[in-house]
Amino acid sequence: MVKVILIGSGNVAQHLIKAFAKSEKIDVIQAFSRQKQALTHLVDADKITNNFKDLTEADLYIIAVSDDAIAEVSSQLPFENRLVVHTSGSVSLDALDKKNRNGIFYPLQTFSKKADVDFSQIPLCLECENETDFELLKNLAEIISDKVYEINSEQRKALHVSAVFVNNFVNHLYQMGNKICTENNVPFEILKPLIQETANKIMTLSPNEAQTGPAIRNDKQTIASHLDFLLDENQKNIYQILTQSIQNNGKKL
């Protein structure tokens, strides 16, 4: 039985607590939250503390707080030489206070409070300073997920930047599509099956194989007609830059 303490009460902390609760091999013996009531629906009230001094002994402490609070929280922990990890994709291992043995437990997914997630399908990216700690982290990760990876800090940075492209920027393109529809009195609903299929295709095809459309075909007439149709300068600009980028990328293949 691995004894775990969760520090934090946000989306990641809550989803981890739920995922751990499903296994008999993991015991969330305590949780830290500034507002106790943020976690009372998931953890017995007497196991929640808002005082670092009350933290008890555990095999693993998981700091799941906002990026800019990680360093501060780790320095406030009133113990030494225990295994302390954070869950962020963009904060380095060095941010954690050296008085403890450090590591990373980064679930690469977008979490929302409402939707339940199937943790078995969420990639967990792990990094540790030493081999013994890594084994503990890996065993724990494999209990809740089928997709466990050893990822060093440089690789994690690449993943985090890539995630911005395939999640944040992709969603912004949904915003732009939505805006164009709204401005032209067309229900955005019509595009949803296409959005789904665009993501589905990538599960079996490489992005290069899946690329279609006027840019990669170099269909100058359609491109010109689209640019003519777009009145918003920002939409026009992004259309041109991405079209150019698709064409340059195609040439390199």
Q: Which residue lies nearer to its own copies by CB, 29 or 117?
A: 117
CB-nearer residue toward its own copies: 56 or 245:
245
Contact status: 224 vs its own copies (CB under 8 A): no
161 binds its own copies (CB under 8 A): yes
DSSP 111-165: --SSS---GGGS-EEEEESSHHHHHHHHHHHHHH-S-EEE--HHHHHHHHHHHII
Residue with tokens 């869950």: 87
Q: Which is nearer to its own copies, 77 or 122 (CB)?
A: 122
40-59 positions binding its own copies, by CB under 8 A: none
Please, which of residues 98-127 interact with its own copies by CB under 8 A?
Answer: 108-110, 112, 115, 121-123, 125
Q: At closest approach, how far in Å is the CB of 40 from its own copies?
A: 26
Instruction: Give Cβ neighbours of residue 223 (< 8 Å, ≥ 6 apart).
Output: 214, 215, 243
Rounded to a whole number of angstroms, the minimum distance from the CB of residue 27 to its own copies is 27
Give whole-number Cα distances, 154 to 15, 21, 190, in Å.
Answer: 26, 32, 40
Of 75, 94, 213, 224, which lies in the binding site for its own copies, with binding defined by CB under 8 A? 213
Q: CB of residue 70 vs its own copies: minimum separation in angstroms?
A: 13
DSSP percent split of the chain into helix, strand, coil, nearest 5: 55, 15, 30
